[in-house]
Amino acid sequence: MLSLKHPELNQILSSLPVGLLTARTDENKLILILKLSKEMILAAKITRGFRISFVPYSVNEKNHHALLVLFPDNFEEPLSLVHSFYENLKSRELLELFSQDTFQSYFFDEHNRELLACNSFLPNLEQFRNLATELNPGQESDHPTSMTFEEVNEWYSDAPDNNASNTFEVTFSSDVYPAITHFIDSTQAFSPMPGDLSFVHYSLERTEPGDQQELDILLLLKKIIPDADFYLNPVRTDTKKEFVDVLAANDSHVLFVQAKDSPNTESLLRTSIPRKASKTLAHLKKAVEQMKGAFNHHKKNPVLKFSGEQKECVVDVGEREVLGLIVVKELFAEDAEKYWEAIESIFAITGMRCLIVDYTELHLYSNETNADSFFPTLEFLHTNMMEKKQFIRARFN
């Protein structure tokens, strides 16, 4: 595996929230490194490839191209990633890489875990080589703000024939190494409860997502608030039932997290958009009731007691602020009003503040906020939502 041969790669990937990298081998060939969501990686694995599209657009009356990477997961709308494509060494190396007869593609998730590696090529290579000489990457200084995901997707949709003349298949011919289905990382340990110790385990395909998703959420939160105490699936001492999926407590705040994920399988990836949106609402309804229960228990019991493997764990909330966070697999713009109604319902019944994010958004928080800004950002968003009576998502430059 590439990550085993080159452990220094982890540090490089840690500086990349998501996207594409190139690396040059001793043979002077470029390899492609992709840091993506597990859904995108599984889509690439199932379809044995992905697509790259150079989308034309104009800024300040200058014509440029943006790079859109597409991972077809169903027949309605592919998963997509906007990658910066400016006039710099990174973009020139991407063009050089895709112009090679063959290249290797290595796929990593948001935790820098290597999950897939394939030998790759472009079937329409000569057409791409011709286009590469005509592409016009923009100057980063020409863009007053970063291009948004929505803008590039809109340009792609508006282009004639879905930008077919500038879109290319990347096809996998074979695996670089035999496929691995399950991983245990003995170099990375975590504490499900203070005093306990476990190793990280994970897989790309997930038929039962719960425990892996909850651990992934804990790892993202640990990146944001590293000095906090974390509790994974804490069990109440009185009822012997799970209190929340994840609890995080630092000097100023206590965070209750309810996680709702769906399996990461081929059948789920190919589910229609309306069906995916419906699943999110069903999961959200259950999570809202669980969060209300957690808040109400806390209000009656400011000193929370949980069963641990070694000893009973106690969280004395004291004067700390308590916030709730519901994390679902995916949010859909057309259901924003229903998400707002869920947030308002929790606040109306419990008087406690809770926000709703999808997993991709939480990953964004882990790259854009830290222990000083994370909780104020959540509080600011909730205040804004209550004032405007609408669902609002965080946006970062």
Residues 194-208: tens digit of each pLDDT: 655 566 677 787 777
Q: Which residues are CB-neighbours of 311 under 8 A, at least 6 positions away?
A: 195
**Domain span at residue 200?**
182-388
Whether residues 161 and 208 fall in one domain: no
30/26 Cα distance (integer angstroms): 9
pLDDT beyond 80 at 262? no
Indicate whether 287 pLDDT > 50: yes
Max mean pLDDT among 40-54, 62-76, 153-167 falls in 40-54
How far apart are the C-alpha atoms of 200 and 321, rounded to whole Å? Answer: 30
Which residues neighbour 191 within 8 Å (Cβ) at sequence distance 6 or greater? 197, 198, 230
Find the mean pLDDT for residues 338-364.
96
Locate tokens 């080589």: which residue?
129
Asked if residue 195 and residue 99 are part of one domain, the reply reads no
Rg (CA), the chain: 23
The owner of tokens 């806390």 is: 298
In a shared domain, residues 96 and 133: yes
171 and 191 assigned to the same domain: no
What average pLDDT does the structure give for the chain? 87
Q: Of the residues 139, 160, 175, which one is the last residue of a structural domain?
A: 175
The answer to whether residue 108 scores a pLDDT higher than 80 is yes
Are residue 284 and residue 339 in the same domain, yes or no? yes
pLDDT for the residue numbered 389:
96
- The answer on 116 and 71 residing in a single domain is yes
pLDDT for residue 73 is more than 90: no
Mean local confidence (pLDDT), 35-42? 93
Residue 79 lies in a domain: yes
pLDDT score for 325 = 98
Q: How far is CA 151 from CA 1, 45, 82, 138, in A?
A: 36, 27, 10, 15
CATH, residue 261 = 3.40.91
Is residue 397 helix, strand or coil?
A: coil
pLDDT of residue 26: 85
Specify whether the CB–CB gap between 304 and 243 falls below 8 A: yes
Report helix, strand and coil shares of the chain as percent, to nearest 5: 40, 30, 30
Q: If you write DSSP's letter for every residue of 190-229 in order, what string do you get? A: E-SSTT--EEEEEESSBSS-HHHHHHHHHHHHHHHSTTSE
Asked if 127 and 146 sit in the same domain, the reply is: yes
Residues 198-222 have a mean pLDDT of 81
pLDDT for position 159: 66
Flag the least confident range among 59-63, 175-179, 214-218: 59-63
Whether residue 393 lies inside any domain: the answer is no
Number of domains the chain contains: 2
d(CA 32, CA 95) in angstroms, rounded, equals: 11
Does 355 have pLDDT greater than 50? Answer: yes
Establish if 129 belongs to a structural domain: yes
Q: What band does 144 get if pLDDT is binned at 50, 70 and 90?
A: very low
Instruction: State the Cα–Cα distance between residues 159 and 169, nearest whole angstrom.
Output: 18
Question: Measured between alpha carbons, how far is 109 from 36 in angstroms, rounded to an integer?
Answer: 5
Per-residue pLDDT at 343 exceeds 60:
yes
Do 241 and 371 reside in the same domain of the chain? yes
Band (247; pLDDT cuts 50, 70, 90):
very high
Q: Which residues pair with 103 in a beta bridge?
A: 120
Residue 356 backbone phi and psi in degrees, to 5: -120, 125
pLDDT at 191: 59
Regarding whether 21 and 80 lie in a shared domain, the answer is yes
